């Protein structure tokens, strides 16, 4: 028997991590410790590598598994908080194959204690630093000995963790109502985010279901396969942590929870079903981080395929939020059947928007928001079209593009009157959004009119960046005392 019992390398600080605990990634020092572990075990005979499913354990031994061309086995019995009896069963059933087990600081000392009671001889005092290894050798646990190998000597010479300056590579899998979108980005502890890769699969879940209806099985299977493909891309791009989140379509579908569980299994990461209020707060945090908000009251909105989120607040946070069933794909499915859009269909979209906005108009107007900042793929697409249609045409800014009420009105009229082919010929038009943008323009125009806004400021960052900020501990999606919900 030869077992290398490894405690995971240094992870991102618990106090700074706002995401699920099992997804907490390695810090910069931890990544170096993982690389050093691979060097230290270069000559060791290893036939099997088993890890806790938690990201910080997996990433500690993944480099070694890749170098040895060995499969990385994930075993819940090694996870943080699991009963030591389960880990003991795993160890006693290993046989004679040289094996690496990667686990946590609560489980390893308890496991060694159980083995010591059975006859294991500890040749060193019991300790368990991050990135350390206990090597257990012998015919069986009753006649084995264990020696301690501290973290790499290179780290022990005073190397410090530089989380404040280093970056973590995240993969955010946004399971939206119009598309599934992957963002791979490097993020620092102070909230700087640099995009590395993006990919999108248009599924239009919101266009085929609404309310308590079900997502058809053929589309559900396509959703699972699309998510699996995007997760593989995130892995190829070096994402250390995958953060899958789902919005209105999966949130509202009768089988949305089950589909989220299927996707979680396919991508090997839990899927978080965001509430509309959580979406609104994450979006508002993004606008704060980007410096797009003024000192006074600000209105933030996110127009998606299944819902419209509103958040009102200032530098101190959000004081009011609401989520409305005014998603572009949803409204298009329920109200529009002609191309170009018939007058009564356009009237139906406007009437739906007014009816759902009206209960909130007084609450928002009473606070007199100085700025309205908007996010969402449709919003950015409309800003791009407006910039190209201006006289003279201008290149849209990557962030902070202004879309005036007058520009929005002109663009809305042009989009609603044009048929699909005419819209495709508009400068700046994206083929995959050509059918939905008239509906999006009607919703935004109605909102601007109802709230008597001068226009909107467009944010390049959106929900996916908000999920990263939350994981870094720089955003909160939960309600704070005194805030209002509608």
- Same domain? 181 vs 283: no
pLDDT at 484: 55
The CATH number assigned to the domain holding 124 equals 3.40.50.1240
If you average pLDDT over every residue of the chain, what do you get?
Answer: 89
Asked, for residue 478, whether it belongs to a domain, the answer is no
Distance CA 437, CA 17 (A): 37
Mean pLDDT of 135-143: 83
Q: What is the pLDDT of residues 286-326, one digit of tens each?
A: 998 888 888 779 999 999 988 999 999 887 788 899 999 99
Asked, for residue 426, whether it belongs to a domain, the answer is yes
- Same domain? 68 vs 151: yes
Cβ neighbours of residue 82 closer than 8 Å, sequence gap 6 or more:
76, 107
Asked, for residue 480, whether it belongs to a domain, the answer is no
Cβ neighbours of residue 184 closer than 8 Å, sequence gap 6 or more:
169, 170, 171, 172, 195, 196, 197, 198, 233, 234, 237, 238, 239
Asked, for residue 203, whether it belongs to a domain, the answer is yes
Mean pLDDT of 242-270: 94
The CATH number assigned to the domain holding 362 equals 3.30.420.150
- Same domain? 69 vs 194: no
Mean pLDDT of 207-229: 84
Domain total of the chain = 3
Mean pLDDT of 106-111: 94
Q: Which of 265, 211, 268 is nearest to 239 (CA)?
A: 268
Alpha helices, H only, 52-197: 55-68, 84-92, 107-117, 153-156
pLDDT at 140: 78
- Same domain? 42 vs 113: yes
Q: What is the pLDDT of residues 16-40, one digit of tens each?
A: 787 788 888 888 888 889 999 988 8
Distance CA 480, CA 432 (A): 38
Asked, for residue 483, whether it belongs to a domain, the answer is no
Distance CA 62, CA 21 (A): 19
Q: What is the pLDDT of residues 75-91, one digit of tens each?
A: 999 999 999 999 999 99
- Same domain? 307 vs 420: yes
- For residues 382 and 440, is the Cβ–Cβ distance under 8 A? yes
Entry pTM: 0.75
- Same domain? 144 vs 45: yes
Asked, for residue 44, whether it belongs to a domain, the answer is yes
Residue 285 has pLDDT above 60, yes or no: yes
- For residues 283 and 376, is the Cβ–Cβ distance under 8 A? no
Per the structure, the complete domain to which residue 298 belongs is given by: 276-471
- Same domain? 117 vs 224: no
Residue 438 has pLDDT above 60, yes or no: yes
pLDDT confidence band for 481 (50 / 70 / 90): very low
């Amino acid at each position: 028997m030869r077992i290398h019992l490894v405690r995971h390398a240094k992870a991102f600080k618990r106090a700074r991590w706002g995401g699920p605990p099992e997804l907490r990634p390695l810090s910069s020092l931890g990544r170096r410790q993982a690389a050093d572990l691979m060097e230290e075990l270069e000559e060791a005979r290893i036939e099997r590598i088993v890890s806790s499913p938690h990201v910080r354990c997996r990433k500690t031994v993944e480099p070694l598994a890749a170098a040895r061309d060995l499969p990385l086995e994930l075993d819940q019995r090694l996870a943080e908080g699991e009963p030591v009896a389960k880990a003991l069963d795993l160890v006693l059933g290993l046989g004679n194959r040289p094996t690496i087990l990667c686990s946590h600081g609560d489980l390893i000392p308890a496991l060694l204690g159980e083995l010591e009671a059975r006859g294991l001889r500890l040749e060193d005092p019991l300790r368990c630093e991050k990135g350390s290894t206990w090597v257990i050798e012998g015919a069986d646990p009753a006649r084995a000995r264990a020696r301690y190998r501290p973290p790499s000597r290179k780290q022990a010479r005073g190397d410090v963790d530089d989380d404040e300056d280093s970056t973590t590579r995240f993969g955010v899998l946004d399971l939206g109502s119009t598309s599934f979108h992957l963002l791979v980005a490097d993020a620092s502890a102070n909230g700087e985010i640099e995009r590395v890769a993006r990919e999108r699969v248009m599924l239009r879940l919101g266009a085929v279901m609404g309310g308590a209806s079900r997502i058809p099985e053929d589309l559900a299977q396509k959703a699972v396969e699309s998510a699996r493909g995007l997760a593989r891309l995130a892995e190829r791009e070096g994402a250390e942590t995958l953060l899958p989140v789902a919005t209105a379509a999966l949130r509202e579908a009768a089988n949305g929870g089950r589909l989220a569980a299927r996707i979680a299994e396919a991508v090997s990461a839990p899927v978080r079903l965001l509430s509309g209020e959580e979406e609104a707060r994450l979006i508002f945090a993004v606008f704060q981080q980007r410096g797009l908000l003024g000192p006074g009251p600000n209105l933030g909105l996110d127009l998606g395929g299944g819902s419209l989120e509103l958040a009102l607040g200032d530098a101190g946070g959000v004081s009011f939020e609401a989520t409305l069933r005014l998603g572009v794909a949803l409204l298009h499915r329920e109200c529009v059947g002609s191309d170009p859009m018939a007058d009564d269909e356009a009237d139906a979209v406007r009437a739906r928007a007014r009816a759902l906005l009206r209960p909130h108009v007084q609450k928002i107007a009473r606070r007199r928001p100085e700025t309205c900042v908007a996010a969402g793929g449709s919003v950015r697409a409309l800003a791009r079209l407006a910039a190209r249609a201006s006289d003279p045409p201008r290149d849209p800014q990557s962030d902070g593009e202004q879309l005036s009420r007058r520009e929005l009105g002109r663009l809305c009229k042009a989009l609603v009157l044009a048929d699909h082919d005419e819209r495709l010929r508009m400068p700046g038009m994206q083929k995959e959004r050509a059918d939905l943008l008239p509906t999006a323009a009607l919703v935004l125009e109605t909102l601007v009119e109802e709230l008597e806004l001068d226009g909107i400021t467009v944010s390049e960052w959106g929900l996916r960046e908000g999920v990263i900020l939350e994981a870094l501990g720089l955003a909160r999606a939960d309600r704070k005392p005194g805030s209002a919900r509608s």
